[in-house]
Structure 1
C-alpha cells in the first residue's frame, strides 16, 4: 500500500538538542524550542509574493501547482475548519471550545497561501490584554473572570483572506454640483421680519474616464455560524506580509477558507466598483457629485491566499458562546460579553434600599 505523501505545510521540525518540536516565536523570524532554548532562523524568501493569475484558478483549481492537501479538523458545533501545525494530544475549537476529535481529521485540497503576516505579539501579551479588559468589565459573571485567569483559553489563530489586484478602467456619467446662495426673508416667533442665506445647488452634466491599479483588495475567506471576527480589530498592515513559510504556523491553529475563491472574487468586484465610483466623483469635481452610471472593466486580475494573525478566547455562559479577539499584530481587542443577572439584581436591590432609607430619613426630618 502506498503511503500518504507528507506535504510541506504539515512538516514539523524537531530540536536538534532535545527532540522537542520547534515553535514560531511571535515578533521574530525564528523558531524556538520551549524546553532547551535552541533557536533556528526561518529561511525567508528574497523574492516578492507570487501573484496568481485569477481565471485559470476559477476554471480548475485542482490541477494547479499551488494547490495541495492539508489535514483539517472540522468542528461539528460551530462549523470552523482548523489545521494544527503541531502534535496535540487533545484540542478544542478556538471559537466555541468544543472538543475536536483528532481521529476525525481528513485530507482536503486547498490553495497554498502565498503570504503570511506572522504574529507580532506573543500569547502572554495577548493574555495580559484580555485579562485587563475582563477585569474592567462591570457586571461580568465571576466565572468569566476566573476563566480569564487561565491562559489555555487564549489561542493563536491564523485567519484566511483573499487579496485581489487588478488594473481598473471605467467610463462614467454623472452630474457636477456647484453651490450658490440666495437670501430669503422670514418672520421669527415674535413676528419680526428677518433674512438668512440658503444654500442651493446648480447641477451640470458630467462624463469621463478613470483608470488605475487596485492593490490588495482584502476579502474575508472564512465564514462559520459563530466566532465572526469584529471589523473593529480586522485591520492589519499588509506591508508586514512575508512570503509563506510553514515555520510561521508552528504552535498556532490555521483556519481553512470556507468562502470559495469564486465568491471572494465576486465580492472584490463589488469593492472595485465602489472604488471606481469614488474615483469618478473625484474626477467630476465641483462642490458635490452624482455618479449615475459606471461601466467598469478589470484587467490583469491576480490574487493571493494570505493568513492573518488573531488571538481568540472563547467562553460559554448560560448555554451561549462568547468570543473575544485580540489582533495578533496590533493588540487591538474586541468581543461580546455576558452579564451576571444576580450582580445586576443585587445592585438594583441595594440602590432601592438606599433610596428607601433616604426617603425615610427625609420624612423623619420633616
Structure 2
C-alpha cells in the first residue's frame, strides 16, 4: 500500500531526453516536453474511478487510505489555496494576480481526487476565444480589441468539486390537482349597449395523494471551494461529467489546482438538500395530474458514496484604460464569461437615436391624423 501511495505521489516528471519538466498536453492523454518534443502516454485505470464509501469519512475524516500530502500556497490577498504541479521560480494568484511567495509554501493533507476532467485546449486557444468574445461585445470601446493580455496571468485552474451518489427512498403526502373549466357570464358594451357573454375560466379540483418514490441519485455536483473574490460565473460552470477519467497527477502537470475549502461534511449537507429537491420532484411526477402540492416528504438515503473531482477552467485578467477586468473560460466547452468596459458615448448616441426615432414616429402620426 505504501509503495502504491508513493507511486501516486510522484509529481514532477522529467524528460528522459533533456531533463526538462514534462507537462500535460490539453485534449490528449500525453505529457510532453516543450523543449525537445518528447512525449509519454498517461496511464490510468481503464476500469473507471472508485467511489468512496461516505460514512467512514464523515465519522473519521482521517481515513488515510485515500489521502495524500501536497504542497500548498495561500494567497493573503483573496484567500485562495493553490497547489502548483511545476517548479515555478515566481508566480501569481490565479484569482487576483497578486504575487505568491514560494517560501510560504506549506504541506497539507487532502482526500485524493477520484477523477479529473482534463483540459481540452491550451492557453493559446483560450486567448483566441477571448478575442472572439471581445469582438462580439455590444457598446464596447472601439479599441478594446487591443486590450493587453499578459500570458503570465492566464492560468489553467482545476477547480475542486464533491460528487455524491446514493439510493433514495421517500414517503410523501400531498394533493393532486386536475384542471376543469366553467362558463362564467360577464357583461360588456357593444355599440353602446350592454351585452351578456360567457368566458371559460379554469378551476382546479384537488384530491389527497400519498405514496413513495425511490431511485438512484447519481453524481450530485457540489462546489468544494469558497471563491470570495472573483467567483467563477455560473454561465461557464457546466461540464460533461461523462468525460471524467480516473485521477492521475500527470493531468495536473503545468496547471494550478485549487484545494477544497468546503469540508466533506458541509458538501454532504448541501447534497442532501439537493436530494430533497429531487425527491420532491419525483413525488410531484408520481402524484400526476395537472398540478401538485407536496405537504410532507420523509426521505432517507442509503449506500452513499462520494468522489473528490477536479474540473478545468482558464482564469485571466486584461487591462484596458488602466483598469483590470477578469474573465473565465470553461476548459472543456470553451464557454466564456467575464467583466467588460462600456463605451459611454456609444450608449449615449444609441439612446439619442432611439429617442429621435420615437419622436419621429410620434410627429408623423400626429401629422397624418
Superposed pair shares fold, TM > 0.5: yes
Q: Deviations over 1:316-345 (max 9, x none)?
A: 679976421111111111122234xxx415
Aligned length: 348
How far the C-alpha of 1:18 sits from its partner, in A, is 1.0
| Secondary structure of residue in 2 paired with 1:208 | strand
Find the counterpart in structure 2 of residue 93 from structure 1: 93
Find the counterpart in structure 1 of residue 121 from structure 2: 121
CA RMSD of aligned residues (A): 2.6
How far the C-alpha of 1:61 sits from its partner, in A, is 1.9
Q: Deviations over 1:138-191 (max 9, x none)?
A: 455689644444433321110000000000000000001111110011123543
2:303 to 267, 292, 300: 300
Taking a change above 3 Å as real, the CA distance of residues 118 and 349 of structure 1, as seen in their structure-2 partners, is closer
Trace 1:201-216 onto structure 2 (pairs within 5 A). 201-216=204-219
Mapped partners of 2:269, 2:171: distance in 1: 20
Mapped partners of 2:90, 2:43: distance in 1: 30
| Secondary structure of residue in 2 paired with 1:295 | strand
Find the counterpart in structure 2 of residue 49 from structure 1: 49
**Gap regions ≥5 residues in structure 1:** 357-366
Of 37-46 and 141-150, more deviation after overlay is shown by: 141-150
Trace 1:29-178 onto structure 2 (pairs within 5 A). 29-140=29-140, 145-178=145-178
TM-score (norm 2): 0.88
| Secondary structure of residue in 2 paired with 1:279 | helix
TM-score (norm 1): 0.88
Taking a change above 3 Å as real, the CA distance of residues 346 and 164 of structure 1, as seen in their structure-2 partners, is closer
Taking a change above 3 Å as real, the CA distance of residues 224 and 321 of structure 1, as seen in their structure-2 partners, is farther
Find the counterpart in structure 2 of residue 364 from structure 1: none
Determine whether 1:272 maps to 2:275.
yes
Of 329-338 and 195-204, more deviation after overlay is shown by: 329-338
Find the counterpart in structure 1 of residue 249 from structure 2: 246
| Secondary structure of residue in 2 paired with 1:169 | strand
Mapped partners of 1:281, 1:350: distance in 2: 48
CA contact (8 A) 1:7 1:70 kept: no
**Gap regions ≥5 residues in structure 2:** 357-369
Determine whether 1:330 maps to 2:333.
yes
